[in-house]
Amino acid sequence: MSGPSPASLFCLALGLGLAGLGVARHVGAASSLGDARVTPVVLAVQRAAPAVVNVTTDGGGRGGGSRGSGAGVIVHPEGYIVTNSHVVRGAARVYCSLARAVGGQAYEARVLENDPSHDLALLRIAGGPFPYVSICSTCDVMVGETAIAIGNPYGLGDTVTMGIVSAKGRTATFSSGHTLQGLIQTDASINLGNSGGALLNVDGELIGINSAIHANGQGIAFTVPADDVQRMLDRNLGAAGRPGPPPLVLDVPAPRSPEPMLSTPTPAPRMAPTPRAPATRPARPPVGLSLAAGAAGVTVATITPGSNADIAGLRTGDVIALLDGRSVASPVTLAGTFNGAASGQTYLLTIRRADRTSTLIVVIP
């Protein structure tokens, strides 16, 4: 009888090595029910929502009262924001509030360009770097794909709705008298105050700036395509108007567990029962990794010292080529895999560093 093949000996050695590390029993472990809730839409919102701002304006007339509010989107880390032209029209002052980032701080913004013919305006706030969204070419937008809208309806603060891209190349005439062409139509719920907000794809990329709803139809809204946004940035910033995709921070959420029950000891006579305080849940540490989509592939942008990614041997600049033997399409794909993994699950990462290729084991905390 012939002996074991080299391939089987390799698999046995790999299994024994993982067992020696105390992680073999976790390989291929199924995600918990709570982890399954981390969908691509959730990841897209987590990635892009900090870059959506609330826009308020003060009028220039007698009394200088408030003229209205809307939303805007940071499209460059140096504080460049795109909103609708009609949101800032006639305003003496414009303020942008970062509701989900930088402590909700409000900034006074300068209007750099107001283009009513495309219902777009470019603003800038001082400071930074700020969270921002990358811009997806409208040529890549597909009718029927998922569309995620983030805006500020009725001044309630950042609100997320979802639908699909219903059509491309629509024409609509606005109350300002301008007729816009090449608009994206979506059935994602758009309400008053959503003007200037973001329409995103499931990768968290900007595909348009929400502009108007159809006066006579429900589920019909129009969005200025992202190509018009990019042309505005090119006019004002030149080559600097294309900053590239922002790094994607992988921060695995803590596993969900039932709330601890209050335990009441038997009271002494004539004494009120004293409930015991709930036990404190230990925080689940992050993987400690941020990624960027580079020319060579998915690249490690930062590593948190002492994190599981650091312990695994990952370093800034590494290109992640394979995950468990399968190619890694994008940072969002890898984030979805890690966020959906059970605590203790392990992955084999094949990385390229300079002219060398090696395989590392990363354990989900």
End-to-end, the C-alpha distance of the chain in Å comes to: 44
> Is residue 294 left, alpha or beta, with left meaning phi > 0 and alpha meaning psi from -120 to 50?
beta
Give how far Cα 59 sits from Cα of 64, 115, 196, 295, Å. Answer: 5, 19, 18, 46
Residue 214 annotated to the active site:
no
* 163 close to 155: Cβ distance less than 8 angstroms: no
User: Residue 119: phi, psi to the nearest 5?
Assistant: 50, 45
Asked if 318 is an active-site residue, the reply is no
Pick from 290, 363, 352: nearest CA to 321: 352
Exactly one of 76, 85, 119, 158 is catalytic; name it.
Answer: 119
Burial class of residue 266 in the structure, from the number of CB atoms within 10 Å of its CB (0-12 exposed, 13-18 middle, 19+ buried)? exposed
With contact defined as beta carbons under 8 Å apart, do 293 and 330 qualify?
yes
Q: Choosing from 85, 97, 166, 195, which is the catalytic residue? A: 195
Helices (H), 141-294: 226-237
Handedness of CA 206, 212, 214, 218 (dihedral sign): positive
User: Could you give phi then psi for residue 186, rounded to 5 degrees?
Assistant: -140, 155
**What's the CA gap between 84 and 208, in Å, rounded?**
11
Phi-psi region of 41 (alpha: psi -120 to 50; beta: other; left: phi over 0): alpha
Encode burial over 48-82: b for 16+ CB neighbours within 10 A, e otherwise.
bbbbbbbbbbbeeeeeeeebbbbbbbbbbebbbbb
Q: Which helix (H) or strand (E) holds 121?
A: strand 120-124
86 part of the active site:
yes
Instruction: Copy the structure tokens of residue 348.
Output: 């084999």
Active-site residue among 35, 69, 86, 118? Answer: 86
- CA-nearest of 45, 43, 50 to 81 is 50
Residues tagged active-site:
86, 119, 195
